[in-house]
Amino acid sequence: MTIAASVLALLAYLVAAAQGGREGALRPALLLGWLAHGAAIMFDTSGLGLSQAGARFGFAPALSTTVWLVLAVYAVESRVLPVPGVRRILASLGLTAVALALGFPGEVRPHLSSPWMPLHWVLGIASYGLFGAAVLHAALLSNAERQMRGKRGVVQPTPLGMPLLRLEKLTFRFVAAGFVVLSAALLLGWWFAEPWRWDHKSVFSVLAWVVIAALLAGRQAFGWRGRMAARWLYTGAVLLLLAYVGSRFVIEVLLMRPSAAA
């Protein structure tokens, strides 16, 4: 069932990514890809069709879920912020994420009796999605600011259907929400881990938390915005990506061995 849903998602994303300016075909294909993508994730996390009860964990499933969450955020916002070029980019990202999940499905982890560790994993993936949405909005904001200024600094009309200040405010709302969710995930991981280990995942997660905390503090105290804020956001997002996706990529692909911890 996972493979069938993934293949359908791949085909739909491919159609959406291949569309030029034909919005009539792009949007339905992207929606179909998102739905099939979500079905594949549901089958994996629920254990349906697996020989043993459990869920798949690995760098590719985590990345796939993150991209799906970013697409979900965009699907809601697309009614007030229609940016056709972004749809093709997101379709390409979805295509890549689903293909990686098929090629590197990770390993099956039995469902745990404790409800807290699965909640820790869910919050961790949710923070990935929220920061992914924040990065997408920051990239849109930076691109819009560049397009508004001509070669000689002449301000041109905004290319987005939303005022830049509103887009900036929305970006930081995603940053703040991601910070809260990441804080909860780290707290649960520290409290219920037996024992807590300062491995690569923990170190990069804490570093990402520190960077995002500094960004929010700088925004509040010094009014950080523009390139300064974007650099801090990108740095924090990269550190968070390295925390789980990066460490699991090294273990699964470069070292080609399973890990004792998810």
Domains of the chain: 1-111 (1.20.120), 115-262 (no CATH)
**Which amino acid, one-letter code, is at 25?**
A
Q: What are phi and psi of 152, to 5 degrees?
A: -110, 25
Task: Please list the pLDDT of the chain residue by residue as tens digits (262 residues).
Answer: 788 999 999 999 999 888 755 656 678 899 999 999 999 988 877 666 555 555 677 888 888 999 999 998 888 877 666 665 678 888 999 999 999 999 888 777 665 545 556 677 788 889 999 999 999 989 988 887 777 765 555 444 444 556 778 888 889 999 999 999 999 989 888 877 666 677 888 899 999 999 999 999 999 999 898 889 999 999 999 999 998 887 777 777 776 665 544 4
Beta strand segments in the chain, E: 55-57, 107-109
220/214 Cα distance (integer angstroms): 10
**Which residues, 6+ apart, have CB-to-CB distance to 229 below 8 Å?**
138, 172, 215, 218, 219
Instruction: List Cα–Cα distances, 25 to 88, 97, 257, in angstroms.
Output: 11, 21, 42
